[in-house]
Amino acid sequence: MADYDLIVIGAGPGGYVCAIRAAQLGMKVACVEGRGALGGTCLNVGCIPSKALLHASHLYAEADGHFAKMGIVAEPKIDMARMQEYRAGQVKELTGGVAFLFKKNKVDWIDGWARIEGAGKVAVSMNNGDSKSMTAKNIVIASGSEPASLPGVEVDEKRVVTSTGGLTLDRVPGKLVVIGAGVIGLELGSVWRRLGAEVQVIEYLDHITPGMDDEISRQFQKILTKQGLQFTLEAAVQGVDASGDRLVVTYKNRKDDSEATVEADIVLLATGRRAYTDGLGLEQAGIAVSKRGQVETNGQWKTSVDGIYAIGDVIDGPMLAHKAEDEGVAVAELLAGQHGHVNYGVIPGVIYTDPEVANVGKTEEDLKAEGRAYKVGKFPFMANGRAKAHFATDGFAKVLADKETDRILGVHVIGPSAGELIHEYCVAMEFGASAEDIARTCHAHPTLSEAMREAAMACGDGAIHV
């Protein structure tokens, strides 16, 4: 008899959700997590603390900018210690919430670091100094990811930081240099810019946010530039010299190979993340790993060893908490004899800047590459009454639909609450809806959602309000 039906390694959004769902489906479950808190990167040093700082800095920017226009007289001041307490408090409450859910669902939290000793066998070096051997019918690896390193850049998480240290600065830096114009760079760059830092983003490519619909990406860069972020594109960072009082960042302009330097108080390294598999013993256990260091799976989350599965950032696909959660549920259902499934064509992506940027499905570039005939419906937030009342008119919604069948193929939004608005289209796409289905659905007035409807109308006979 094995000790458990399932041992999950890692308690991030993939692992803890998998553990809870498996317990709900009747399995005896343990989840090994060595961080000392549940919730993984997302709750501890990622999504949640960054959203706390994004919210606080957004309100500060509103108070500094729009309050006076609305007749509110206030002089906002920043108390960084209090803001950081607020961030830490949110993290504590939410990670504690996961511990509560574990208890409620009778999932055993094993407080230590796991090593796989073969199919069904896990050894844990416990945080209290003990070691423990456990057996299970199945194992799920959900060990997540860590920031990728960059040659020449030594991270100390104080002056040269990744997203982890970038969340806990005790004062607003005078000058922040961000390496990489991806999601992390732009979210955290926005936080510190809004709080008063000078922010320069150095990006290797000739555009920001790789993989995003090109038209949205260009508009996004314009809006962020208007907010004061400076972009240096087509520049490869070569190194950071931390020997002096100020940091010196050296980069090479890719157009002409010339070298340039810039000084900074803080450097944020945000050049991507890589699978975290340290100490898991994958090689000894015979678990195949790709050239990029990710655990290989067969499309149904099964690794090369029977009874061992992997989900989330440690496998291929977008490194997103909600993708990991869905995989966690799917694997638990498969192990319970059900038909776990993830529709990878309908996974939304959101950047929580102001305005937010959200997308689901294909970009125009994808459709062109596929040679698929499509039509575009667009609607600007400038023409939406609610957005106007909120001083939030930057951006637009864009719907891509099949030219012949009108089926929705992709949706891209830059605008207020885009991260909430996108879900109407996620549901529509799950049901194989057409743009006309959205266009003919009554939407309450006055809402931001009306802009989403009008973009669908623009795929047909035309929007009303432009």
How far is residue 13's CA from residue 142's CA, in Å, rounded to a whole number?
9
Smallest separation (angstroms) from ligand NAI to the CB of 237: 4
Regarding 324 and contact with ligand NAI (CB under 6 A), the answer is no
Smallest separation (angstroms) from ligand NAI to the CB of 275: 11
| Member of 36, 65, 210, 279 binding ligand NAI (CB under 6 A) | 210
How far is residue 202's CA from residue 152's CA, in Å, rounded to a whole number?
15
Smallest separation (angstroms) from ligand NAI to the CB of 387: 22
**What is the residue whose two structure tokens read 């692992």?**
15
- Contacts (Cβ under 8 Å, ≥6 apart) of 193: 176, 199, 227, 228, 229
Smallest separation (angstroms) from ligand NAI to the CB of 150: 5
How far are the Cα atoms of 84, 158, 218, 232 from residue 206, in angstroms, in the given order?
35, 29, 11, 9
Reading the block at residue 91, the tokens are 């993290």
| Member of 2, 37, 88, 205 binding ligand NAI (CB under 6 A) | 205
Regarding 185 and contact with ligand NAI (CB under 6 A), the answer is yes
For ligand NAI, which stretch binds (CB under 6 A), given 110-118, 268-276, 290-298, 362-370? 268-276
Select 39 or 380, whichever has its Cβ closest to ligand NAI: 39
CB 123 within 8 A of CB 30: no
| Member of 101, 236, 336, 382 binding ligand NAI (CB under 6 A) | 236
Regarding 184 and contact with ligand NAI (CB under 6 A), the answer is yes
Select 41 or 138, whichever has its Cβ closest to ligand NAI: 41
CB-facing half-sphere around the CA of 221: CA atoms within 13 A = 21
| Member of 202, 335, 452, 458 binding ligand NAI (CB under 6 A) | 202
Q: What are the residue numbers of the active site?
A: 445
**What is the residue whose two structure tokens read 């890692």?**
10
Closest Cα partner for 124 from 143, 136, 111? 111
How far are the Cα atoms of 123, 216, 344, 354, 384 from residue 450, in angstroms, in the given order?
54, 19, 27, 19, 7
Burial of 373 (0-12, 13-18, 19+ CB in 10 A): exposed
Smallest separation (angstroms) from ligand NAI to the CB of 26: 33
| Member of 150, 280, 308, 414 binding ligand NAI (CB under 6 A) | 150
Regarding 183 and contact with ligand NAI (CB under 6 A), the answer is yes
How far is residue 299's CA from residue 306's CA, in Å, rounded to a whole number?
14
Select 318 or 345, whichever has its Cβ closest to ligand NAI: 318
Smallest separation (angstroms) from ligand NAI to the CB of 201: 9
Smallest separation (angstroms) from ligand NAI to the CB of 196: 22
The interface with ligand NAI within residues 332-391 (CB under 6 A) comprises 350-352
The interface with ligand NAI within residues 304-323 (CB under 6 A) comprises 318-320
Select 127 or 250, whichever has its Cβ closest to ligand NAI: 250
Regarding 169 and contact with ligand NAI (CB under 6 A), the answer is no
How far is residue 398's CA from residue 217's CA, in Å, rounded to a whole number?
13
Regarding 203 and contact with ligand NAI (CB under 6 A), the answer is yes
Smallest separation (angstroms) from ligand NAI to the CB of 168: 16
For ligand NAI, which stretch binds (CB under 6 A), given 68-76, 91-99, 199-207, 335-343? 199-207
Select 216 or 438, whichever has its Cβ closest to ligand NAI: 216
**What is the residue whose two structure tokens read 């209290």?**
128
Count of residues interacting with ligand NAI (CB under 6 A): 26
Select 44 or 271, whichever has its Cβ closest to ligand NAI: 271
CB atoms within 10 A of CB 265: 18
Total number of residues shown for the chain: 466
Q: Residue number with the shortest CB distance to ligand NAI?
A: 182
Regarding 289 and contact with ligand NAI (CB under 6 A), the answer is no
First to last CA, the chain: 68
Select 174 or 210, whichever has its Cβ closest to ligand NAI: 210
How far is residue 198's CA from residue 172's CA, in Å, rounded to a whole number?
10
Reading the block at residue 313, the tokens are 């950032």
CB 436 within 8 A of CB 406: yes
Closest Cα partner for 443 from 466, 414, 465? 465
How far is residue 327's CA from residue 66's CA, in Å, rounded to a whole number?
42
Q: Rule CB under 6 A: which residues touch ligand NAI?
A: 150, 179-185, 187, 202-205, 210, 236-237, 270-273, 318-320, 350-352
